[in-house]
Chains A and B, each alone.
Chain A
């Protein structure tokens, strides 16, 4: 029982945050219509919420009883044929506008970028490795292409460094017939050429040049 209540409470706060699922919403509505405990809680939550937001009217006035009473007193209209049609058309008008909203809404939903606030989310971005089918060993930074060598910490995801050098992953364990310096030079070279290409053709002007990292410059100076 208390478990059930706890879950309802969670659903309620999810609803307050606008994150409740359909099922949760149904369960809440059912519960609210049956008992007053949850309804009171719902009311309190709203009062707290408006108090926090600094809304002026936080007095607890319950209009719901008065509204139900007013509806009950309303004289029932005689159902004429015209009324049936008007009602039907009216319902349809609503249906049509819902359809419009749906068309529009789907258009919006289809865009995965809509839910994203790039500005605020940026700082915590993980490295995206969507289709990493490569080997288990990966060196987080600072070229470390020697597979059976030191652990990651030796080369260093050095937190004190402001710049991140390319993450390099050697695909097969091969006889080591290359040097780290060679590999670094090669990668820097192709990255630089690619940035130059991109600056000419990506329609972003010189922006791609910003992608060149610090080691690049060091390599160029030599």
Chain B
């Protein structure tokens, strides 16, 4: 009997040892997957590159040419749709070092949203490295990003081994079905500004609006102006990244991110009467427009984002006119 119980003890001990031995393996894997994601955010901003990528949803495919260059601390970007009507977008941001809320969430470990709550990407997503692959003739590391709740979608991303650039990003539904996919088919990294076709002196950039709002300041804080509107419910982990009131029509817009997913809230007064309550879809993007009657004033509240419809509905129904909540964000010591 003593002998048998000894055997049993050994069994239990070995099992525990096996589990313990395995634990750190997973931890190491997750850490490096997260590192890869942070590297990706940095690379996509700081490198010069140009390439062709496809965007696919619901069986539709469009191809887009992208150029991205950094010159004198300024970022120059051009997007050209290769099919359908002629569409180009040109953008210049003033500061390559501008870190926004999304970057901070992806890079940092934990950030203080207000006195009670902290945002940490790992609380809301699991990161798994799923081996290597080849995309746009480059070696990539595949990373699966799984949401831990029903309020956000997952991603399958491919990150270039050498440069850290994002070469593929597939948005995945909770059922594991792809909703949309970005994928480079060809990319050149390290091109000069001339090769990219950017002329910083050229006039076409003058027309491009500069958006350098909501960058992290010297105190490592991102300050957004406060809104009269408050979100009574937000999916956990989402923080406000920007807030604007349009000078033209008084439209208020707020933008929220958890570091990966983004949704925007638009509030209109004047347009409210001329708009019905709607649900809309464009690819993986949903839009929910609800109407609110507050103090005899009709408002149109629209939530737009790559988030599940139920989440968008919940956000929309929880927006109310109230005293503003704290909206400054600072990292934990």
Give me the interface of A with B, judged by CB distance under 8 Å.
81, 85, 88-89, 92, 95-96, 99-100, 103-104, 107, 110-116, 118, 121-134, 145, 162-172, 174, 177-179, 182-183, 186-187, 190-191, 193-194, 196-214, 216-218
State whether A205 and B68 are in contact (beta carbons under 8 Å apart), knowing that A128-B173, A163-B62 are contacts in the complex: yes
Q: B285's closest neighbor in chain A, by CB?
A: A211
Q: Which residues of A contact B294 (CB under 8 A)?
A: none
Task: Kindly supply a per-residue 1/0 record for chain B positions 76-89, scoring 1 wherever the CB is within 8 Å of any chain A CB and 0 otherwise.
Answer: 01010101111101
B256: shortest Cβ distance to chain A, in Å?
9
- Interface check B194, CB cutoff 8 A: no
Establish whether residues B309 and A167, one from each chain, have CB atoms under 8 Å apart when the complex forms.
Answer: no
Q: Which residues of A contact B261 (CB under 8 A)?
A: 202
- Interface check B242, CB cutoff 8 A: yes
| Number of residue pairs A-B, CB distance < 8 angstroms | 261
Establish whether residues B304 and A191, one from each chain, have CB atoms under 8 Å apart when the complex forms.
Answer: yes
Which of under 10, 10 to 19, 20 to 34, or 35 or more describes the interface residues of B? 35 or more
State whether A164 and B11 are in contact (beta carbons under 8 Å apart), knowing that A130-B173, A197-B242, A201-B102 are contacts in the complex: no
The answer for the CA separation of A124 and B274 in the assembled complex, in Å, is 37
Q: Which residues of A contact B287 (CB under 8 A)?
A: 166, 187, 190-191
Establish whether residues A197 and B262, one from each chain, have CB atoms under 8 Å apart when the complex forms.
Answer: yes
Q: A112's closest neighbor in chain B, by CB?
A: B176
State whether A95 and B144 are in contact (beta carbons under 8 Å apart), knowing that A170-B278, A217-B85 are contacts in the complex: no
- Interface check B331, CB cutoff 8 A: no
Give me the interface of B with A, judged by CB distance under 8 Å.
3, 7, 10-11, 14-15, 18-19, 22, 26, 37, 40-41, 44-45, 53, 55-60, 62, 64, 66, 68, 77, 79, 81, 83-87, 89, 91, 93, 100-103, 106, 126, 128, 130, 144, 146, 154, 156, 166, 169-170, 172-182, 211, 214, 241-242, 253, 255, 257, 259-264, 266, 271, 273-285, 287, 302, 304-306, 308-310, 313
Among B144, B181, B274, the residue within 8 A (CB) of A111 is B144
Establish whether residues A203 and B40, one from each chain, have CB atoms under 8 Å apart when the complex forms.
Answer: yes
Q: Which residues of B contact A126 (CB under 8 A)?
A: 58, 177
State whether A211 and B283 are in contact (beta carbons under 8 Å apart), knowing that A118-B172, A178-B274 are contacts in the complex: yes
The answer for the CA separation of A119 and B264 in the assembled complex, in Å, is 29
Establish whether residues B182 and A204, one from each chain, have CB atoms under 8 Å apart when the complex forms.
Answer: yes
Q: Which residues of A contact B7 (CB under 8 A)?
A: 85, 88-89, 92
The answer for the CA separation of A218 and B86 in the assembled complex, in Å, is 9
B83: shortest Cβ distance to chain A, in Å?
7
State whether A125 and B57 are in contact (beta carbons under 8 Å apart), knowing that A186-B271, A217-B85 are contacts in the complex: yes
Q: Which residues of B contact A183 (CB under 8 A)?
A: 275-276, 278
The answer for the CA separation of A88 and B7 in the assembled complex, in Å, is 8
Among A171, A205, A213, the residue within 8 A (CB) of B282 is A213
Establish whether residues B279 and A134, one from each chain, have CB atoms under 8 Å apart when the complex forms.
Answer: yes
Supply 15 further A-B pairs (C-beta < 8 A) apart from A92-B10, A182-B271, A210-B182. A89-B7, A103-B22, A116-B172, A118-B178, A125-B177, A127-B281, A130-B175, A162-B84, A167-B282, A183-B275, A187-B287, A190-B304, A200-B242, A201-B100, A202-B261
The answer for the CA separation of A115 and B144 in the assembled complex, in Å, is 12
The answer for the CA separation of A125 and B313 in the assembled complex, in Å, is 23
Q: Which residues of B contact A203 (CB under 8 A)?
A: 37, 40-41, 44, 102-103, 106, 166, 259-260
